């Protein structure tokens, strides 16, 4: 099953300006925030993770009928290496036994995009 999402980076930037820390801690894990805060392009990094979480949500729901929350999906990676996802919900982890959850993220000046594939 495949999920995809695209987000305008400005949308995430405006959410941060409007809601600040409250928005960030509701959507992102500490590890995600630490990683993106260490990047020169902080907003595109956060936007790519938003898109990835959305893509994972879509794929997971379509494949298993389970609706995850944003904080239950953690998008990790090191610069230049493929991102990986950790699911932080025991019930949902059971569905993935013996399966792979693959993701790909990308961003440029205005947009961030992500694809998730459960195989």
34 is annotated as contributing to ligand binding: no
Question: Which residue, 91, 92, 30, is CA-closest to 56?
Answer: 92
Q: Which two tokens stand for residue 13?
A: 């930037």
Question: Which residue, 117, 119, 115, is CA-closest to 54?
Answer: 115
5 is annotated as contributing to ligand binding: yes
Task: Assign residue 30 a region (left: φ > 0; alpha: ψ between -120 and 50; beta: otherwise).
Answer: alpha
Which helix (H) or strand (E) segment holds residue 74: the answer is strand 73-76
Helices (H), the chain: 9-19, 21-27, 30-37, 42-64, 90-95
- Please enumerate, by residue number, every residue annotated as part of a binding site for Mg(2+): 5, 54
- Please enumerate, by residue number, every residue annotated as part of a binding site: 5, 54
């Amino acid at each position: 099953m495949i999920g995809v999402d695209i987000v305008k980076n400005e949308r995430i930037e405006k959410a941060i300006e409007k809601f600040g820390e409250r928005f960030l801690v509701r959507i992102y894990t500490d590890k995600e925030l630490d990683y993106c805060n260490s990047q020169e392009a902080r907003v595109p990094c956060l936007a790519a993770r938003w898109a990835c979480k959305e893509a994972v949500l879509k794929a997971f729901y379509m494949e298993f009928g389970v609706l995850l929350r944003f904080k239950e999906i953690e998008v990790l990676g090191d610069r230049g290496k493929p991102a990986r996802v950790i699911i932080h919900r025991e019930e949902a982890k059971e569905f993935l036994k013996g399966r792979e959850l693959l993701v790909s993220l990308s961003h440029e000046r205005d947009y961030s995009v992500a694809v998730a594939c459960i195989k």
